[in-house]
Amino acid sequence: MALTDDDGRTAQDASPADTTPRAGSPAADAAVPGARMPRWLPRAMVLALALVAAFQLGSWAFHQLTGLLINILIAFFLALAIEPAVGWMASRGMRRGFATFLVFLGLAIAVAGFVTLLGSMLAGQINKIVEDFPDYLDSVINWVNQTFHSHVRRVDVQEGLLHSDWLRKYAQNSAAGVLDVSGQVLGGLFQLLTITLFAFYFAADGPRLRRTLCSVLPPARQAEVLRAWEIAVDKTGGYLYSRGVMALISGIAHYILLEALGVPYAPVLGVWVGLVSQFIPTIGTYLAGALPMLIAFTVDPLYAVWVLVFVVIYQQFENYMLQPKLTSKSVDIHPAVAFGSVIAGTALLGAVGALIAIPAVATLQAFLSAYVKRYDVTDDPRVHGHPRRGPGGPGLLTRARRLIWQRQAEEPESEGSSA
């Protein structure tokens, strides 16, 4: 039976929609079971796995090298701090390596002298406490017997302490902790040696290091790197210089007070207060004043009060009079910014971040100031904290009051005219 024209047209119209996909097309590969996967898919999977593995390896290496990176950062800032002294000696014909050695030798002598004096002071105080301990114990026992009407004897107290479980456990823990302390001391010495070596290389080979960095940069970037390096040297050196001057003044002032009160080891305590209060941010003042107060208390409790009062007064004088004059040119940052930078540095790198936070922020601020465009501030009263007023006229509130009074005066006149 032959198809009619209507059936033929119907078949022709329906055939394009019912045709099967051509072989080799994506639709056919997706529809036919057992078809091969696209060629790009294995490579994409391998690339994704390689990226994940590289990220995991980099993260693991970074965590393993965090201590070394922090030591290098400390060494870099130490090299920036001694760069002015090394550069000054190198400009007068001395080799940079020998000049760096002399600077480090001077620092080592100063640190060794300070540690020796502080150790002798602490050893003397410990010996004094041990020698006077029986007298202190007798005074405490007499006070307890008189106050509570008891009959405690020093021999009983000593025997109780010697045969107590607490003392035995404390001795065992102390013996076991000797190895831990020894390990920490050796680790600290190794860390100090690492920092010293890196700082020596950074300071002695500073010009070579700058040339190496600039050799991989275009000329415009080289100028920016050299400018940033110069600003970092100026700010770091200026920060340490200003802190050193304030430490000297603070040490002399506290030495005079302690010597006048007759507190022993006044020179060492003066050096302690000066260094700790200036080079340990935020809590340095409290740590510095605690030791002189404790030793003054052993002489006379009233002397400890005098030391506390003097520390508080001197701190105010330093914050509002001395520090702004010394740091206005070297480290010109707002006190709130300095405090916030110390907190942020402590949160990121601990004590190391607290030490390098202020010079780092000062360097960043000075470097960005060259690229931030500033404009003249308009002469507006609101800039000075005053409310805005009209040009030559009264304020808005005054004009509103005058308008209300004028309307109240016009109301009686309008009522009389209407009547």
How far apart CA 332 and CA 358 sit, in angstroms, is: 10
Instruction: Say what the pLDDT of residue 383 is.
Output: 63
C-alpha to C-alpha distances, 187 to 67, 192, 197, nearest whole angstrom: 12, 9, 15
Instruction: Say what the pLDDT of residue 388 is.
Output: 59
Phi, psi of 153 (to 5 degrees): -115, 150
273, 254 in Cβ contact below 8 A?
A: yes
C-alpha to C-alpha distances, 327 to 237, 274, 280, 284, 324, nearest whole angstrom: 12, 17, 17, 18, 5
How far apart CA 295 and CA 122 sit, in angstroms, is: 10
Instruction: Say what the pLDDT of residue 275 is.
Output: 86
Q: What is the pTM of this model?
A: 0.62
Tokens of 55: 């990220």
Instruction: Say what the pLDDT of residue 356 is.
Output: 77
Tokens of 198: 């890196």
Query: In Å, how far from its chain's centre is CA 368?
Result: 20
Tokens of 199: 């700082």
328, 245 in Cβ contact below 8 A?
A: no
Instruction: Say what the pLDDT of residue 329 is.
Output: 61
How far apart CA 69 and CA 397 sit, in angstroms, is: 63
Instruction: Say what the pLDDT of residue 60 is.
Output: 92
Query: In Å, how far from its chain's centre is CA 147?
Result: 51
How far apart CA 107 and CA 105 sit, in angstroms, is: 5
Per-residue pLDDT of the chain (419 residues; tens, 9 = 90+): 444 444 444 444 444 444 445 544 544 444 455 567 788 888 888 899 999 999 999 999 988 888 888 888 888 888 888 888 888 898 888 898 899 999 999 988 988 887 887 777 777 767 776 777 777 777 778 888 888 877 777 777 767 766 667 666 766 666 556 566 677 778 778 888 898 899 999 888 888 888 888 888 888 788 888 888 888 888 787 778 888 888 889 889 999 999 998 888 888 888 888 888 887 766 777 788 888 888 888 788 888 899 999 988 988 888 777 777 776 666 667 767 777 777 887 788 777 777 777 777 877 777 777 666 667 777 766 666 666 555 544 555 566 666 676 776 666 555 555 54
367, 231 in Cβ contact below 8 A?
A: yes
| Measured distance between the N- and C-terminal CA atoms of the chain, rounded to whole angstroms | 111
